[in-house]
Amino acid sequence: MILCWNDDDEVYYGYKLLNSSALFRLASSQDGFGLSYIGSDGNQGWVVYLIATTDICDKYGICGPNGASSIDKSPVRSCLKGFAPTFQQDWDLVDWSYSCVEKSQLNCSGDIFKKYSGVNLPSTEQSWYNTSMNLKECEMMCMNNCSYTAFSNLDIRDGGRGCLLWFSDLIDIRYSNINGQDI
> Do 32 and 63 reside in the same domain of the chain?
no
Residues 6+ apart with CB under 8 A from 92: none
Domain count for the chain, please give it.
Answer: 2
> Do 122 and 153 reside in the same domain of the chain?
yes
> Do 83 and 37 reside in the same domain of the chain?
no
> Do 37 and 98 reside in the same domain of the chain?
no
Residues 6+ apart with CB under 8 A from 137: 163
C-alpha span between 65 and 178 (Å, rounded): 23
pLDDT digits (tens, 9 = 90+) for 8-43: 776 666 666 676 667 777 787 776 677 778 776 655
> Do 64 and 16 reside in the same domain of the chain?
no
Q: Are the CB atoms for 65 and 99 separated by under 8 Å? A: yes
Domain interval for residue 45: 2-51
pLDDT digits (tens, 9 = 90+) for 124-157: 989 999 999 999 999 999 888 888 899 999 888 8
Domain end call among 11, 26, 51: 51
C-alpha span between 43 and 58 (Å, rounded): 32
> Do 66 and 45 reside in the same domain of the chain?
no
pTM, whole model, 2 decimals?
A: 0.69
> Do 101 and 168 reside in the same domain of the chain?
yes
